[in-house]
Amino acid sequence: MQNHPCNDVAQRFDYLELADNETADHQRQQQQQQIPLLGHKGQNVAKIPFCKMHDAVKPSLQQTVHQAGPPVVAATESPHSGSAADDEDETDVIGDLMGHYGKWQLIMTVLLSLFQVPNTFHISSSVYQAANKDFWCQRPAHLQQLPVDVWRNVSGSIGNCHQRSDIDWSLVGNETTSVAHLQQQAKAKANATTDAAGGKILACEAWEYATDDNVGNTWTSQWDLVCDKEHMKNVAEMFFLLGVATGGIISGYLSDRFGRKTMLFISAVLQTIFGLWLYFISSFEFYLTLRALLGLVSVSVTYSGLILAIEYVDGKWRTIAGMYNLFPLPISYMLISGLAYLTQDYQRLQLCIGLPGIFLCFLWFVVPESPRWLLVKGRITEVRRIIEAAAKFNGRELPADYQLTPPTQEMSSQDFTYLFRSSYLRRISICFLCIWFTMNLVYYGIILNMSSFGGNVYLNSALAGLVEIPAIAVAMYIITKVGKKWLFCATLLCTGVACCCAGFTEGREEMLWLKITFLMMGKFTISAGNTIMPVYTAELYPTAIRNVGVGACNVAAGLALILTPYLSLLNKIEGHLLMTLLTAWSIFGGFVVLFLPETAVRRTTSNHNASSDASTAKQV
């Protein structure tokens, strides 16, 4: 998503210099373009430069993907850190009329944040639905009363995937008077046939699963995803994340083309249908297809809802509205861990996480379309209706008669190659591609592998959600006060340190509590970084190519998401490999951040005038 605050008429702020003179000149021309927007009948009261987000073909809102998480995760562009007065200057005529942020905006943005709940449910559901279960080769019908450990012993089970083929199990019965005699009998028969046949083994055709593991019925037990089919659990999750990655690329265009509200509720309805449909599916192949479609529409819900929330406000409130849109994520992580514990069945859990979407669809009658998008499209009557309703709810009086003029739209031909036209753009593009890949790999690598870290998966997931709440709050507060570069770098480096410490405790049951503690510390810091990342990205990209820049970052994030389900396989190769990989990527991401420029700190008007000769370059 892309979002850019309105440019101040007096051009009071200093900007970072761009090496691409052609792009910079184009932006300065747009800044100088003045459009009559507000006036009485027959006359223009003032010439007001319209918000830069309306100077392109599409309203400029920052593109992003969610969590799932990070979705997954998304935020708005933040103005450079500075005083509240400076931020309040960055407004447009719609905000001046209906209020920059009031009771109407508060209610609407809170309602829109609720759409993050089913999104988070769906992206994290695989932690419980694909949980591993203890299994063994199915016992013959007449040996069902035989203890499992005895059966494993006498059957010569190898990895619970094969059993001896040289024993006639019909000769081994429950009528044996003692377990020891049964074991001796089976061993004697096994030895006799081993001498003759060389101890042949046979792949199991069916399996039995533990029923007292507090996991219940999962994909594993429903479709026998064990042994040579165990990788299909990762494929099922990869299909969902593949849909997320694809949706993150196309949802921005669709939202700009058909409207934020329209795409939001079309996607929400489809999300609800697909989510509930999964409850009834018995075919694993069909289940995979629906999971992919569910991921596709889920990210569109995140994208459209976040843009809509951002476009209800302006000035400094864009950053705030976009960031507190993330608060339902950790709450949803805690809720679904409770639901999974209570249901302990993948189908019942699917029903529980699909039902909330039904109620959210009724918000169609409450939530209006983005007035800024409508203005760009020239639908003045609808804009007036929304402005008047919002102003009335906020207790603001509108002028007796006012006029709104759609901004002039210029065709934009920027494409992916523009990200590498100058040394500045090449530097930030390469850095952000690496950072977005790293952030999504580490963030979802922790979230989606909670079941493989040891301990109680329900408690671990609830704690992971709990620590994210203060992480978002702290990041939200700090980035409005200071620059983002060093804070962002610190979050990644601290995550790497936490994962490294967790790796040292790997395989030590007596230190499991310490391992979980380090993981929660890592989750705290990576969540704070995930909150800063989209804001920082949007600030450094020029307006004209912000859509393209963040879209390219979404592709890198999508690649990381597709790889995430397979991270759990690393522990089967070597117990420390997963945490080593998360550590290395976190430190690598923190190192790459050092090559990014710091966001400029806003200055007061007097300071600006004193240093105007030294700060003539502008970032648009």
The per-residue pLDDT for 349 is 94
pLDDT value at 446 more than 50: yes
What are the backbone angles phi and psi of residue 349, rounded to the nearest 5°?
-65, -40
Which has more confidence, 502 or 449? 502
Buried b (16+ CB within 10 A) or exposed e, 204-214: beebbbeeeee
The per-residue pLDDT for 588 is 94
pLDDT value at 615 more than 50: no
- Reported confidence tier of residue 387, pLDDT bands at 50, 70, 90: confident
What are the backbone angles phi and psi of residue 345, rounded to the nearest 5°?
-160, 125
Q: Tell me the pLDDT tens digit for each residue of 124-161.
A: 898 898 888 888 888 887 777 778 777 777 776 667 78
HEC secondary structure over 419-442? HHCCHHHHHHHHHHHHHHHHHHHH
Dihedral, 369, 371, 377, 379 alpha carbons, nearest 10: 90
What are the backbone angles phi and psi of residue 398, rounded to the nearest 5°?
-90, 155
The per-residue pLDDT for 405 is 75
Mean pLDDT, residues 453-457 taken together: 80
Answer yes or no: are the C-beta atoms of 504 and 581 closer than 8 Å.
Answer: no
Mean pLDDT, residues 219-223 taken together: 90
- Reported confidence tier of residue 525, pLDDT bands at 50, 70, 90: very high
Query: How is the chain split among helix, strand and coil, in percent rounded to 5?
Result: 65, 5, 35
- Reported confidence tier of residue 524, pLDDT bands at 50, 70, 90: very high
Cα–Cα distances in angstroms (integers) from residue 190 to residues 46, 146, 163, 179, 351, in the given order: 97, 18, 11, 16, 48
Q: Tell me the pLDDT tens digit for each residue of 30-81.
A: 444 433 333 333 333 333 333 333 333 333 333 333 333 443 333 333 333 3
Q: What percent of the chain has pLDDT over 70?
A: 73
The per-residue pLDDT for 171 is 62
When the pLDDT of each residue in the chain is averaged and rounded to a whole number, the result is 74
Mean pLDDT, residues 528-556 taken together: 78
The per-residue pLDDT for 498 is 92
**Judging by DSSP bridges, how do beta strands 47-48 and 135-137 pair with one another?**
unpaired
Cβ atoms within 10 Å, residue 501: 18
The per-residue pLDDT for 420 is 84
Q: Tell me the pLDDT tens digit for each residue of 257-270.
A: 888 899 899 999 99
For domain 92-131+216-380, which CATH number applies: 1.10.10.410, 1.20.1250.20, 3.40.250.10, 1.10.10.10? 1.20.1250.20
**What is d(CA 531, CA 476) in angstroms, rounded to the nearest whole number?**
8
Q: Which span out of 73-82, 183-192, 318-327 was modeled with the highest average pLDDT? A: 318-327
Tokens 């699963």 correspond to: 209
The fold adopted by the segment(s) 1-33+410-620 is Growth Hormone; Chain: A; (1.20.1250)
Buried b (16+ CB within 10 A) or exposed e, 109-146: beebbbbbbbbbbbbbbbbbbbbbbebbbbbeeebeeb
pLDDT value at 373 more than 80: yes
Q: Which residues contact 362 (CB under 8 A, 6 or more apart)?
A: none
The per-residue pLDDT for 597 is 87
The per-residue pLDDT for 411 is 47
Cβ atoms within 10 Å, residue 585: 22
The per-residue pLDDT for 185 is 55
pLDDT value at 549 more than 50: yes
Sort residue 314 into left (φ over 0), alpha (ψ -120 to 50) or beta. Answer: beta
Q: Tell me the pLDDT tens digit for each residue of 580-601.
A: 999 999 999 999 999 988 764 4
Buried b (16+ CB within 10 A) or exposed e, 540-565: bbbbbbbbbbbbbbbbbbbbbbbbbb
Which has more confidence, 615 or 598? 598
Question: Model-level pTM?
Answer: 0.74
The per-residue pLDDT for 271 is 94
Please, where in the chain does CATH 1.20.1250.20 lie?
Answer: 1-33+410-620, 92-131+216-380
Q: Which span out of 66-80, 101-115, 171-185 was modeled with the highest average pLDDT? A: 101-115
pLDDT value at 26 more than 50: no
Single out the residue of 517, 500, 490, 525 nearest to residue 581, CA to CA.
500
